[in-house]
């Protein structure tokens, strides 16, 4: 079977011709890598059409009950980012193993350490402020593509509630919440792309005002219409866009809402561990070959980071 690279669908074979076995095991990464400015492949819609989103200048909120497919979705995005040498990557993962496969490609990796999460998110915030000062000086309103000193920074957080409501002191939890909110609220024009997942879609973890700052929202299976609405937006469940109806066995199925549109039911693509390992190796080589210039604001003495 031959595959059409742009549609990711098989090319119909001529009648009567023998069909060769698919060579799906081949990893097709362009030599120069991908770009964070390109659309990111997320999966297929109900008509089997590929679904892409462009994350540059956007943020993405992912929510749903455990086992729905949130970490799988995060891995698709972090995978694209890792293979894009034109962006920086900050990974915050309380479980460590969900995003750990990409650690060698990340500029910053934070495990289950709330103090380290605060240190690193504060650095991203400082870099955001530095960029806004620069934009003001240059009299432009957003970062232009192609400037390595202003490379987009993808901040991926797996399980926001772990840092904002579970571990650490109340002060630390409030600090993480405030930092994330600021990055989501002001990050767009400065090139900070926040992708946050939560398995506790409640208004305490994701307030409506925070949710509304995310241009993209992706709800995997939820247990109540309220929690589905916490992710997608108030009133969607009543209109029929409810993540409660998703079959618990249908892992990776969710409603994706993009700015200005209606939610679309999609089935996410999935990277098994061995694909992540192989892709992360390619990504690390690409990044070593085309390094971004050092960024003083984002780096600091690693011994005090506690990451």
Ligand X SMILES: Nc1ncnc2c1ncn2[C@@H]1O[C@H](COP(=O)(O)OP(=O)(O)O)[C@@H](O)[C@H]1O
64 binds, among Mg ion, ligand X, none (CB under 5 to 8 A by kind): ligand X
10 binds, among ligand X, Mg ion, none (CB under 5 to 8 A by kind): none
| Residue selected from 33, 69, 152, 254 as contacting ligand X according to rule CB under 6 A | 69
Closest CB 251 distance from ligand X, rounded Å: 4
| Residue selected from 35, 71, 113, 125 as contacting Mg ion according to rule CB under 5 A | 71
Q: How far apart are CA 258 and CA 216, in angstroms?
A: 5
Closest CB 70 distance from Mg ion, rounded Å: 5
Per-residue CA distances from 52 to 41, 252, 264, 291 (Å): 5, 15, 12, 26
Per-residue CA distances from 58 to 37, 61, 187, 297 (Å): 11, 10, 9, 22
Say how many residues touch ligand X, by CB under 6 A. Answer: 13
| Residue selected from 70, 80, 200, 217 as contacting ligand X according to rule CB under 6 A | 70
Count of CB atoms within 10 A of residue 40's CB?
Answer: 19
Question: Terminus-to-terminus CA distance in the chain, angstroms?
Answer: 46
Closest CB 186 distance from ligand X, rounded Å: 28
Closest CB 250 distance from ligand X, rounded Å: 9
Q: Is 203 helix (H, G, I), strand (E, B) or coil?
A: coil
| Residue selected from 33, 72, 152, 201 as contacting ligand X according to rule CB under 6 A | 72
Q: Which of 269, 128, 283 is nearest to 194 (CA)?
A: 128
248 and 81 Cβ atoms separated by less than 8 Å: no
- φ/ψ bin of 59: left (φ > 0), alpha (ψ from -120 to 50), beta (otherwise): beta
Helices 70-82, 273-289: crossing angle, 10 deg rounding: 30
Helix H or strand E segment including 218: strand 216-220
Closest CB 123 distance from Mg ion, rounded Å: 25
Spell out the SS3 assignment of 13-57: CCCCCCCCCCCCCCCCCCCCCCCCCCCEEEEEECCCCEEEECCCC
Stretch that binds ligand X, among 62-70, 110-118, 208-216, 273-281 (CB under 6 A): 62-70
Q: Which residues, 220 to 279, sit near ligand X by CB under 6 A?
A: 220, 251-252, 268, 270
Residue with tokens 């650095």: 123
Closest CB 94 distance from ligand X, rounded Å: 12
Closest CB 106 distance from Mg ion, rounded Å: 18
Residue 190 or residue 253: which is nearer to ligand X going by CB? 253
Stretch that binds ligand X, among 19-27, 70-78, 136-144, 173-181 (CB under 6 A): 70-78
**x-or-dash pattern for Mg ion, window 72-91, by CB under 5 A?**
--------------------
Residue 94 interacts with ligand X (CB under 6 A)? no
Q: Which of 24, 17, 69 is nearest to 43 (CA)?
A: 69
| Residue selected from 10, 12, 66, 291 as contacting ligand X according to rule CB under 6 A | 66
Q: What is the binding site for ligand X (CB under 6 A)? A: 64, 66-72, 220, 251-252, 268, 270
- Contacts with Mg ion by CB under 5 A lie at 70-71
């Amino acid at each position: 079977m031959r595959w059409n690279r742009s549609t990711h669908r098989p090319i119909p074979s001529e009648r009567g011709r023998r069909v060769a076995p698919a060579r799906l095991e081949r990893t097709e990464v362009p030599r120069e890598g991908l770009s964070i400015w390109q659309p990111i492949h997320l999966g297929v819609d109900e008509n089997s059409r590929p679904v892409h989103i462009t994350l540059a200048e956007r943020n993405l909120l992912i929510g749903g009950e455990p086992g729905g497919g949130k970490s799988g979705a995060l891995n698709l995005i972090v995978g694209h980012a890792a293979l894009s040498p034109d962006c920086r990557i900050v990974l915050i993962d309380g479980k460590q193993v969900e995003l750990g496969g990409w650690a060698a490609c990340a500029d910053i990796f934070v495990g289950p350490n709330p103090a380290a999460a605060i240190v690193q998110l504060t650095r991203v915030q400082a870099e955001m402020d530095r960029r806004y000062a620069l934009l003001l000086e240059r009299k432009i309103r957003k970062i232009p593509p192609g400037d390595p000193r202003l490379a987009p920074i993808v901040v991926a957080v797996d399980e926001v509630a772990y840092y904002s409501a579970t571990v650490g002191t109340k002060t630390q939890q409030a600090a993480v919440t405030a930092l994330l909110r600021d990055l989501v609220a002001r990050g767009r024009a400065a090139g900070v792309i926040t992708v946050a997942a939560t398995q506790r879609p409640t208004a305490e973890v994701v307030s409506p005002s925070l949710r509304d700052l995310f241009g993209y929202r992706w709800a995997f299976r939820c247990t109540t219409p309220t929690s589905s609405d916490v992710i997608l937006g108030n009133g969607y469940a009543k209109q029929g866009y409810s993540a409660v109806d998703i079959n618990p066995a249908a892992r990776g199925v969710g409603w994706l809402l993009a700015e200005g549109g209606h939610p679309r039911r999609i089935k996410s693509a999935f990277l098994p561990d061995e694909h992540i390992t192989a892709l992360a190796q390619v990504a690390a080589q690409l990044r070593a070959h085309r390094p971004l210039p050092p960024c003083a604001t984002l780096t600091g003495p690693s011994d005090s980071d506690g990451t």
